[in-house]
Structure 1
Amino acid sequence: MPDTILSLNDADLTLDGNAGPVDILRGITLDVTRGETVGLVGPSGSGKSSLLMVMGGLERATGGSVHALDHDLTAMNEDALARFRRSHMGVVFQSFHLIPTMTALENVATPLELAGHSDAFDRAAAELDAVGLGKRQHHYPSELSGGEQQRVALARAAAPRPEILLADEPTGNLDGPTGETIMDLLFALNDRHGATLILVTHAPDLAARCSRTIRLEDGRLAPDRAAAE
Structure 2
Amino acid sequence: MSVKPPREILENIYAFPPNRATLGGTAYFCINHDDAGEAANVLIDAPAQAPEVVAFLRDRGGVQYWVITHRGASGEAKALQADLSCPKVLVQEQEAYLLPDLPNLVTYRDRYPLPGGGEAFWTPGFSPGSACVYWPQQGGILFTGRHLLPDRDGQLQPLRFSKTFHWPRQLRQIKQLQERFTAENLAYACPAANTGFLRGQAIVKDAYSQLQALEPDQLLQAPALL
Instruction: Give the shorter-chain TM-score range.
Output: 0.3 to 0.5
TM-score by length of 2: 0.35
TM-score by length of 1: 0.35
Looking at secondary structure, tell me which structure has more strand per residue: 1
Looking at secondary structure, tell me which structure has more helix per residue: 1
- Higher Rg of the two aligned structures: 1
